[in-house]
Structure 1
Amino acid sequence: MIKKAVIPVAGFGTRLLPITKAQPKEMLPVVNKPIVQYVVEDLVEAGVNNILFVTGKGKQAIENHFDANYELECKLERSGKTKILEEIKRINNLANIYYVRQKEPKGLGDAISYGEQFVGDEYFIAMVGDTIYSENIVIDLIKAYKKYKCSIIALERVPKEEVYKYGVVSGEPINGKIYRIGDLVEKPKVEEAPSNLIITGAYLFSPKIFEKIKETKPGKGEEIQITDAMKLLLEEEDIIGVEIDCRRYDIGDVLGWLKANVEIGVEKCPEFKEYLKEFVKNM
């Protein structure tokens, strides 16, 4: 079914400066592993084992993280640290990972277009590298694709005053929290937004999206916006939206990063749970 994914990680992470001056935002730790590892692990759990990173300047740490480090492994082995050694080797072999470099930062749509030769004529997943979820939504996207056989996007309902930060959709509910998309707008003014359903940064695309990206003119910020390309795709093919039923952690700014560490630390790490809850309560 769906075996390939494209993860754009070429952005500068300006909202997280100076943390991201020399470190990719996708490599910031959330509890005990970097953000991007959560993204890759969700893809692999959903059966998507071939992953293309679209990188940019200063992103070598991502390549190093998923590559073997024999000096480190030998040191761990000599020290008898077998548990962490096993984890390091697991990361090395998580998936078949490839890299291509975006020549200049021209937006998410442009970044995704670098996956055209890698994807070919297959449907594929696209995930931004700075957003993680409390549940595996890739599985939900693939499940919806099996039923509707078209492009699928993950949606979230947010307070109306926040819609200006996102791509926003209007849609007709067809089955619970499943919507047939009617329109898409990139970062609208609050009073002009068609709804408070936003695009979260997780997509399952028809390969025709590449053709539509080529037809897309620069939009907000003079960048090639994937929302604008989807609007063109919608003229020829259906797009289905799946409203997520879990927490989304947008780690594009410092507050989002701090919240992700606390909440995921409480939910995913039983050894820290009671301590963190008590610590926050007593602050």
Structure 2
Amino acid sequence: MSSNNVSDNQANQDAVQEGPNQAGKLTGSVRHGVVPAAGRGTRFLPATKAVPKEMLPIVDRPAIEVVVEEATNAGLDDLLFITAAQKQAIEDHFDAAPDLELALRESNKTKLLESIERYKHYTRIHSIRQGHPQGLGHAVYQAHNHVGNNPFAVLLPDDLMHPEDPVLQKMIAVREQLGGSVVALLEVTPQQATAYGSAAVTNIPLASNGLDNVEGLSEGDVFRLDKIVEKPPIDEVLSEYASVGRFVLDPKVFEILETLPPGRGGEIQLTDSFQRLIETPENQGGGVTGVVIRGRRFDTGDKLGYLEALVQMGLEHEELGADFRAFLKGLDL
């Protein structure tokens, strides 16, 4: 599937290689994005029995659209969904609906028409099937033919980032300055760290590394990753920082994922590939940097996190926010 009248074959032809990997850097900006969206959404059953979890609404648009908008605002011009059976609704949402568009146009329902035509202004979208799911690392590896020897972003759709902190844009800027790979870091408690990739880190000063002009970065926002472990027991948590939801990766990761053995849970873990990247020399595409998330993040793969996103986005909704706020204030809590 491909929206904006760009076929997957055209996209593969257009995926021009951005130069050889030298000192962990590639020429050109990060153009490609990958969105793993093949999960079953079992934590949201029965709601997700027939509806992809990525299509659950955040007020009046599906959660996946918020992620696509973020990718577009970050400057990505090619986005690949890794999907599975029963996920056709995701592809349909970012495609034309001629009959509906015509009906709205003839009824002069301009705002509604604009809302379903937003796909025209988003980055180009394509999709492939993961097949038999074998973990997040396996899902990301499915993008290797599409992305080629280019750096790329990975956006996990369960993580919604509030636009007040354009963390992906900052991560791309850090990658372009330092090379290697970049992960988003979240400050967590030791108990929370057991659910993520726990990272041992060393602070990277901004000025001496050419990062002082990156908009939105402050001292203490950027770290070198020295070690990372997927979902450690609480007594093996490495620090107060965990990797979550947004990654900008050197294509070296595809070579690693190709032969990476299953890890925790018998699945190919993307976090395990980060440890391999940490151990890889910088001139071979290695090295991993972390950028701390300073804005609001919502874990919409969790029921409580999803409710928090609904409330927060509802309060900020242009049309409904004021009335919704008044409603909440009137509740007898």
- The TM tier, using the shorter chain, reads over 0.9
Shift of 1:216: 1.4
Shift of 1:86: 2.2
**Larger strand share, 1 or 2:** 1
* Fraction of identical pairs, as percent: 38
Alpha-carbon distance between aligned partners in 2 of 1:231 and 1:159, rounded to the nearest angstrom:
22
Aligned partner of 1:153 in structure 2 is 183
Q: How does 1:145-224 map to 2 (within 5 A)?
A: 145-175=175-205, 176-224=220-268
**TM-score, normalization by structure 1:** 0.96
Q: How does 1:20-31 map to 2 (within 5 A)?
A: 20-31=48-59
Alpha-carbon distance between aligned partners in 2 of 1:18 and 1:167, rounded to the nearest angstrom:
29
Alpha-carbon distance between aligned partners in 2 of 1:273 and 1:80, rounded to the nearest angstrom:
25
Contiguous gaps of at least 5 residues in structure 2: 1-28, 206-219, 281-285
Contiguous gaps of at least 5 residues in structure 1: none
2:231 is matched by which residue type in structure 1? K
Aligned-pair RMSD on alpha carbons? 1.3
Give the SS at the match of 1:139: helix
Shift of 1:83: 1.9
What CA deviation, in whole Å up to 9, does each residue of 1:181-205 have, x standing for no partner? 0001101111111112111110000
2:191 is matched by which residue type in structure 1? E
Aligned partner of 1:57 in structure 2 is 85
2:304 pairs, out of 251, 255, 268, with 255
Alignment length (residue pairs): 282
2:134 is matched by which residue type in structure 1? K
Alpha-carbon distance between aligned partners in 2 of 1:115 and 1:121, rounded to the nearest angstrom:
11
Which is further off, 214-223 or 36-45?
214-223
Alpha-carbon distance between aligned partners in 1 of 2:192 and 2:327, rounded to the nearest angstrom:
30
Shift of 1:270: 4.0
2:79 is matched by which residue type in structure 1? I
8 Å contact kept, 1:215–1:229: no
8 Å contact kept, 2:71–2:123: no
1:102 is matched by which residue type in structure 2? Q
1:32 is matched by which residue type in structure 2? D
Shift of 1:279: 3.0
Which is further off, 272-281 or 21-30?
272-281
2:312 is matched by which residue type in structure 1? E
Aligned partner of 1:82 in structure 2 is 110
Alpha-carbon distance between aligned partners in 1 of 2:304 and 2:69, rounded to the nearest angstrom:
24
Shift of 1:168: 1.2
Aligned partner of 1:107 in structure 2 is 135
* Runs of 4+ displaced beyond 4 Å: none
Give the SS at the match of 2:89: helix
